[in-house]
Amino acid sequence: MQPMDTLGRLLGDSAPIAEVRAQAARLLRSAVSPGRRLPPILILGETGTGKGLLAEAIHRDGARGNGPFVDVNCAAIPETLLEAELFGFERGAFTDARQAKPGLFQSANGGTIFLDEAGLLPISLQSKLLKVIEERSVRRLGSTRNEPLDVAIIAATSEDLPLAVQEGRFRADLYHRLAVVTLNLPPLRARGRDVLLLADDFLARICEDYGLPTRTLTQDAQAALLAHPWTGNVRELTNVLERASLLSDGPRLTAQDLGLVAARRPETTREPAESSGDRIELTAIAAIASGIAKGPAGDIAKTTIAALIRVLCPSDGRLAPENPARSAGLPGTTSSTLTPTGPSSAVA
């Protein structure tokens, strides 16, 4: 698929995503001149919410849009190589360093470097990153001089950085330098009907990329999309739609095609007082009690059945005044005990 590389492609009508777009637009207006750079930006959000998409949109729509955009996944580079990859090295700086190599920061000169999953940076590297941000220069491994940098820095993480700071896993000073401006991307489950807008857009692009006939969603598929929790967020939605488009023959995708459970109508909670079935059962018990009470074991029967009613009735055996249980003379079913309407409506 083609990347959604502008703020306008950050689809959604919900208030949370509209606020993110508005904040990013205000940032870009503050740095419209090519010579001006954005402050460090920290994008927070769960995995799959589109942090990389937002970072690239900020870069493409800004004054540095024609410069390089260097995307660095800090979690994907081994810790032993991370320093050399980020800051570069000189010839002979370590074994097999046969020639000098610029780091990713220098590769982003004149543009933007995006530090994805910055919350997973090893603590040993965080002090050097802080120095690069504050001094706007970088020193390669094995070098004795600093080289100036002109780089906009955008970092992103799904980690709880304030908690990481408290636990000593992340430097507080680096956190405050990265979080000059913080943008919070909402999870997909908090964006309401945005999921349907995204689904339509993704389906169109999936069908174009794979040369498939147009795919649309049935009503039960739409209901299933709205009801699904989307723990994997937009990335999960894309995968579900791509798989369904490739494996389904028909032009209309159902909830079953998507592999999602169709949304069910919520069951209405019945109030005991409104349940005719409860009234019938209690009336039948009371009628039986009335007949048994006239027999030789009447007193025992009345006591036993009254206890049974108290167990079966949700409001401790309270019966309506018109209920025939009262006429049977059952213990605990006097006129002061009412229909089982619950504690809030019972007469003390």
Collapsing DSSP to helix, strand or coil, 317 comes out as: coil
- CATH number, domain at 233? 1.10.8.60
Bridge partner list, 101: 89
Residues 126, 38 share a domain: yes
Q: Quick one: tokens of 78?
A: 């081994």
Residues 298, 167 share a domain: no
Please give the residue range of the domain that contains residue 304. Answer: 272-345
Residues 134, 13 share a domain: yes
Residues 128, 56 share a domain: yes
Residues 211, 318 share a domain: no
Domain boundary among 258, 290, 313: 258
Q: Quick one: tokens of 94?
A: 């370590």
Residues 153, 104 share a domain: yes
Residues 251, 122 share a domain: no
Sorted by sequence, the CB contacts under 8 Å of residue 217 that are 6+ apart come out as: 196, 199, 200, 203, 225, 252, 253
Q: What is the pTM of this model?
A: 0.72
Q: What's the CA gap between 220 and 225, in Å, rounded?
A: 9
Domain boundary among 258, 287, 315: 258
Digit-by-digit pLDDT tens for the chain (348 residues) are 343 347 888 899 999 999 999 999 999 888 766 556 789 999 999 999 999 999 999 999 988 889 999 999 999 998 888 988 999 877 766 667 677 788 899 999 999 999 999 999 999 899 999 999 999 999 887 777 889 999 999 999 999 999 999 999 999 999 999 999 999 999 999 999 999 999 999 999 999 999 999 999 999 999 999 999 999 999 999 999 999 999 998 899 999 999 998 655 555 444 444 444 455 455 555 555 555 555 555 555 555 556 555 555 554 444 444 454 554 555 555 444 444 444 444 433
* Phi, psi for 247 (deg, rounded to 5): -100, -10
Q: What angle do CA 337, 340, 344 make, to 5 degrees?
A: 90
Q: For residue 267, tell me if it sits in a domain.
A: no
Report how many domains make up the chain.
3
The answer to whether 112 touches 154, Cβ cutoff 8 Å, is yes
User: What's residue 128's pLDDT?
Assistant: 92
User: What's residue 289's pLDDT?
Assistant: 53
Q: Quick one: tokens of 276?
A: 């005719």
Collapsing DSSP to helix, strand or coil, 300 comes out as: helix
Residues 34, 177 share a domain: yes
Q: Quick one: tokens of 268?
A: 């209405």
Residues 142, 37 share a domain: yes
Q: For residue 1, tell me if it sits in a domain.
A: no
The answer to whether 118 touches 156, Cβ cutoff 8 Å, is yes
Residues 62, 156 share a domain: yes
Q: For residue 264, tell me if it sits in a domain.
A: no
Q: For residue 265, tell me if it sits in a domain.
A: no
Collapsing DSSP to helix, strand or coil, 6 comes out as: coil
User: What's residue 320's pLDDT?
Assistant: 47
Residue showing tokens 């370590």: 94
Q: What's the CA gap between 324 and 320, in Å, rounded?
A: 9
Q: Quick one: tokens of 29?
A: 């207006």
Q: What's the CA gap between 50 and 259, in Å, rounded?
A: 23
Residues 166, 29 share a domain: yes
Domain boundary among 141, 168, 186: 186
Sorted by sequence, the CB contacts under 8 Å of residue 273 that are 6+ apart come out as: 339, 340, 341, 342, 345
Q: For residue 116, tell me if it sits in a domain.
A: yes
Q: What's the CA gap between 26 and 60, in Å, rounded?
A: 15
Q: What is the DSSP letter of 199?
A: H
Residues 62, 130 share a domain: yes
Q: What's the CA gap between 130 and 136, in Å, rounded?
A: 10
Collapsing DSSP to helix, strand or coil, 186 comes out as: coil
CA–centroid distance for 256 within its chain: 23
Q: What is the DSSP letter of 67?
A: S
User: What's residue 99's pLDDT?
Assistant: 78
